Structure 1
Amino acid sequence: MSWLDYLIIASYCLAVLMIGRWYQQRNRTADDFFLGGRRMGPLPVAASLFVSWFSVISYTAIPGEVAANGPGVYVGLLAAPFALWFVGWKVIPRLRFSQTVSAYKIIEKKFGVFLGRFASALFLAMRVAWMAMIVHIASSVILSPIVFGRSNRATTWTLAVIMVGLTDCIQAAVMFGGAVAVILIAGKEVVWNGQNAPFHVDWPVLKFCDPWARASVVTAIVGSLSLGICVKTDDQMNAQRFLAVADSRQARQVLFGGFALDCLLTGLLACVGVCCLMAHGSSPVSVADDLFPRIVGAGLPVGVSGLIVAALLSAAMSSLSSGINSCVSTVASDWFQPMIARRSSQGITILATVGLGIIIFILSQIIGVIEGNLFELCYKVVNLLATPLGGLMLTALFIPRARVRMVWLGCFLCLAVVVYVTYFSGITFLLASPLGLAVQLTAAWAGRK
């Protein structure tokens, strides 16, 4: 990349840090730090929710997945209407009624402190692994580990939900701009100017229902429905955004707005994947995840590469800032404050933020041994604990009379099913979440008082 590309990246990072510093000085209470004082507008919160979902893993995984295997797994978006209805009209009102900073306080109130702490520990483990993978991918694809690590630690010090909401609006625009730039420029080169290699695809045939195939219509829909409900119900990052607005109606606007942006960018990145495939000439399963970064680094004009790198960096920084904020709110609310009642809540959050940042940095150096398609890693690693955690939240919200021992049993059975289906069975990993969730909720329902 040229000096202009690096200037664009540096200007972007400086702007985000200045905004963060300004809002950090305005925070007065832990409620301001975690929920923006519960007075934020739905539009910036929807943008924040969207870029929290759309990590740098998703931003780089979608083009590679489409280039290697086609758009078959995204048939699961057909399940979105029911998932949005269920979360918007069933989950959000119950969540807002609890009036808590940590979503896992609901589990603690229903089933006791040990199960509540276990739920928050599941969330922390899931999100720490997710953020470590983001740091690893972003540092290896975008910048050197030293530069990225420094900018991220600086972001951590200026963390606050209002700052995240405002900067996420900027980051969402940059992410969309980067995808559109690749389509217009790279697509023009390979289509209109005829500079592509002979075009050939070897995508798997998409069957209607085949549990042994990588993806089919039924397994994609059922898997997306189950995992989508679990992620949108159990994730502290989502809960914070649903609680950061005034009422349930605005929370539903946040949910629908974030999903609309998610679908739009998914479609754009799928087109990016097709452009990458046309430039390469065939379906390169082994190197599909590298095609997008290669085009960014070598196939775009001066200045545009800097814009795309800024888009990838925005996805990484936004996800990390949101994830660290949510993890810190969970640690401070569920673990430290009950034991250290006299300590300042702001002091606790700062200590937890620094400690979490150190852990994420260390894990990001170890996570390089992970192999496999980035899209599959989202299911097999990042979301491995999402289903048992989502099952705990759904049990607390909809089966409050379940016996505690049956809730524990259902959670461990769900975890066993998810791990077995994902790593040891011959059926598709898309069915791990629905099968595990069905076992967990059945055990809780059968054991109710």
Structure 2
Amino acid sequence: MRILDWLVIITYAVGMLAIGQYYARRNKTTDDYMLGGRRMSPFAVGLSLFATLTSALSYLAVPGEMIKHGPMQLVQYAAFPLIGIVVGWGLIPFIMRQRASSAYEMLEQRFGISVRLVGATMFLTMRLAWMAAILYATSDKVLAPMLGLGPQATVLASVVMCVITLIYTAEGGLRAVVLTDAVQSLIMLGGAAAVIVLVTVDLGGVSAWWPHQWAAHWDAPRFGFDATTRITFLGMIMSAFGWYVCTFGSDQMAIQRWLSTRDTSAARRSLFTTLVSEALVGILLGLVGLSLVGYFTKHPELFTESASLVTGADRLFPRFVMVGLPAGMTGVIIAAVLAAAMSSLSSGMNSSSLVITEDFIVRFRKSPLADASRMKLARWISAGIGIAVILISLLVSRIEGNLLDVCFRAVNLLTAPLFVLFFMAMFVRWATTFGALVAALASVATAVCIAYSASFGLPPISIMWIMPGSFAAGVVSGSLASLLPVGLPSKSTARGKPSNTEE
């Protein structure tokens, strides 16, 4: 790290804080603070959601996955047209008809308060683990090896990154989050493109790093569905379709983005912006992985004991940033990784703060809170979330596997179970409160069994089956349980019309 690199990073951090301060003076109401006044630009919102979902985990995991296991994971983008149709015309119209702030308020309208609290709790559990994993990956996989930090200094770096994110998030609300996310998405795009260009120049052309045959250490390509194979063509498409549909249809971070736009048409444009950005940057990051294989194959002397094509694939991108970039560019790439991390952290903090405020505090107050008090409460809750995330991040290192495995086994474990509740509310006409609760329980149990099948003495099952398996188990169990004469039947029909008000 040279002085120019530090100047780039400091300029980036100051810019993020300035955006938070700018919007802090422009939030007049709770709707402004939490939903941007419901009139935000669809393009900015789409970039924001893309930056949110493309965390530092993804930014590091995709090149590492490409280096170690090959390009099979890129086939997920074949599912994007179908995702656009299902979410754009199947889910977003329902969501935009609800004048809610919290996504889980919609569950109460159909099933009552108990299901709302279950949904909100699942979201908070999932996103706290997700933010903790981001902090761990960024500090342990990037900052530590690149800056030569010891364990204590790594924790300090995590704290500093978390505090900076917390300040601009708590001050500026969703408007600051969306604008910083949009800026960060451009930094991520530029960082990935810069690596490819620099490697290409160093090696003398694209053909020098483009693979001309399937590498011996890559997973053999498989087309069909196979629960024992880590990744197959159809399995990856199914998993990607399930993850994006579940996330876009039940995660507060996504639903909050849709609700911040003017109408259904604007929300759809945001969705398409997100999908195009995801595909573009995902493919670029895959190419980063391929280019790094060529770079380190030509420069084997740059390998370290913990960085090789097979045993340390996740560390090669940070290693290249250390040894392969000119002054200033190292700072740009580090800023890109920090942007990936901080965009996700800011959205997670903002959405989690809203859920805790609306679903657990305001919902049970006998007297309403004034806008100023509500925004102040949300800011204090954001601070508490930041502290919790730092503490949880210390436990993430215990999960085995590469970063993609960590994403699926810990971060995405509750993605499908949470969507099951919304699916029951929208599409299962006979669903009851009891059936929804059974669906959630069955879905979570199935996700855990698949993710940790080997630990339970079961045959190993591919992580690609976590979401489709848990979704199917939840919907089938919940639909059957709703036929039992247990509890009060839902008074609504499908599509989320108001129902029983269970207290």
Could you tell me the TM-score, scaled by structure 1's length? 0.95
Residue 427 of structure 1 and its aligned partner are, at CA, apart by 2.5
Work out whether residues 110 and 400 of structure 1, in 8 Å CA contact, stay in contact via their aligned partners in 2. no
Q: Report the equivalent of 1:398.
A: 427
Q: Report the equivalent of 1:213.
A: 229
- Tell which deviates more after alignment, 31-40 or 213-222: 213-222
CA deviations over 1:229-276 (Å, ceiling 9, x no partner): 111111100001101110100100000101100100001000100011
What secondary structure sits across from 1:285 in the alignment? Answer: coil
Say if 1:286 and 1:9 are closer, same or farther in 2 by CA, change over 3 A: same
Moved over 4 A (4+): 193-196, 198-201
1:290 pairs with 292, 301, 315, which one? 315
What is the number of residues matched between the two proteins?
Answer: 448
Residue 412 of structure 1 and its aligned partner are, at CA, apart by 1.2
Q: Report the equivalent of 1:432.
A: 466
Q: Report the equivalent of 1:131.
A: 131
Give the aligned residue type for 1:207: R
Q: Report the equivalent of 1:268.
A: 284
Q: Report the equivalent of 2:147.
A: none
CA deviations over 1:418-442 (Å, ceiling 9, x no partner): 1111211422110121121112112
Residue 142 of structure 1 and its aligned partner are, at CA, apart by 2.8
User: Is 1:326 equivalent to 2:351 in the alignment?
Assistant: yes
- Identity across the alignment (%): 34
Work out whether residues 49 and 274 of structure 2, in 8 Å CA contact, stay in contact via their aligned partners in 1. yes
Q: Report the equivalent of 2:176.
A: 163
User: Is 1:2 equivalent to 2:2 in the alignment?
Assistant: yes
Work out whether residues 34 and 161 of structure 1, in 8 Å CA contact, stay in contact via their aligned partners in 2. yes
Mapping 1:113-132, distance limit 5 Å: 113-132=113-132
CA deviations over 1:9-51 (Å, ceiling 9, x no partner): 0001101101111101211222111110001111111110110
Work out whether residues 438 and 477 of structure 2, in 8 Å CA contact, stay in contact via their aligned partners in 1. yes
Work out whether residues 190 and 275 of structure 1, in 8 Å CA contact, stay in contact via their aligned partners in 2. no
Larger Rg: 1 or 2? 2
Mapping 1:14-163, distance limit 5 Å: 14-140=14-140, 141-142=142-143, 144-159=154-169, 160-163=173-176
What secondary structure sits across from 1:338 in the alignment? Answer: helix
Structure with greater helix share of residues? 1
Give the aligned residue type for 1:213: T
Separation (CA, whole Å) in 2 of partners of 1:315 and 1:193? 26
Q: Give 5+ residue unaligned stretches, structure 1.
A: none
Residue 360 of structure 1 and its aligned partner are, at CA, apart by 0.8
Work out whether residues 200 and 206 of structure 2, in 8 Å CA contact, stay in contact via their aligned partners in 1. no
Work out whether residues 123 and 251 of structure 2, in 8 Å CA contact, stay in contact via their aligned partners in 1. yes
Work out whether residues 189 and 195 of structure 1, in 8 Å CA contact, stay in contact via their aligned partners in 2. no
Residue 195 of structure 1 and its aligned partner are, at CA, apart by 9.1
Q: Give 5+ residue unaligned stretches, structure 2.
A: 145-153, 301-307, 454-458, 484-488, 490-503
- Tell which deviates more after alignment, 24-33 or 298-307: 24-33
- Tell which deviates more after alignment, 10-19 or 282-291: 282-291
- Tell which deviates more after alignment, 83-92 or 405-414: 405-414
Mapping 1:299-318, distance limit 5 Å: 299-318=324-343
Mapping 1:213-252, distance limit 5 Å: 213-252=229-268
Say if 1:195 and 1:4 are closer, same or farther in 2 by CA, change over 3 A: farther
Work out whether residues 47 and 258 of structure 1, in 8 Å CA contact, stay in contact via their aligned partners in 2. yes
Residue 114 of structure 1 and its aligned partner are, at CA, apart by 1.2
Residue 295 of structure 1 and its aligned partner are, at CA, apart by 0.2
Residue 123 of structure 1 and its aligned partner are, at CA, apart by 0.3
Q: Report the equivalent of 1:179.
A: 192
Work out whether residues 208 and 294 of structure 2, in 8 Å CA contact, stay in contact via their aligned partners in 1. no
What secondary structure sits across from 1:213 in the alignment? Answer: coil
What secondary structure sits across from 1:302 in the alignment? Answer: coil
Say if 1:19 and 1:219 are closer, same or farther in 2 by CA, change over 3 A: same
What secondary structure sits across from 2:364 in the alignment? Answer: coil
Separation (CA, whole Å) in 2 of partners of 1:86 and 1:442? 20
Q: CA RMSD in A?
A: 2.0
Residue 277 of structure 1 and its aligned partner are, at CA, apart by 1.2
Work out whether residues 96 and 264 of structure 2, in 8 Å CA contact, stay in contact via their aligned partners in 1. yes
CA deviations over 1:103-122 (Å, ceiling 9, x no partner): 01111221111111011000
Separation (CA, whole Å) in 2 of partners of 1:219 and 1:169? 31
Work out whether residues 16 and 168 of structure 2, in 8 Å CA contact, stay in contact via their aligned partners in 1. no
Q: Report the equivalent of 2:375.
A: 346
Give the aligned residue type for 1:223: S
Work out whether residues 142 and 313 of structure 1, in 8 Å CA contact, stay in contact via their aligned partners in 2. no
Say if 1:267 and 1:431 are closer, same or farther in 2 by CA, change over 3 A: same
Q: Report the equivalent of 1:337.
A: 362
- Tell which deviates more after alignment, 374-383 or 218-227: 218-227
Separation (CA, whole Å) in 1 of partners of 2:433 and 2:31? 31
Say if 1:148 and 1:444 are closer, same or farther in 2 by CA, change over 3 A: closer
CA deviations over 1:123-165 (Å, ceiling 9, x no partner): 0000000001111122231374324423432331332111112
Residue 191 of structure 1 and its aligned partner are, at CA, apart by 4.5
Residue 52 of structure 1 and its aligned partner are, at CA, apart by 0.5
Separation (CA, whole Å) in 2 of partners of 1:76 and 1:139? 28
Q: Report the equivalent of 1:381.
A: 410
Mapping 1:198-209, distance limit 5 Å: 201-209=216-224
Work out whether residues 20 and 155 of structure 1, in 8 Å CA contact, stay in contact via their aligned partners in 2. no
What secondary structure sits across from 1:158 in the alignment? Answer: helix
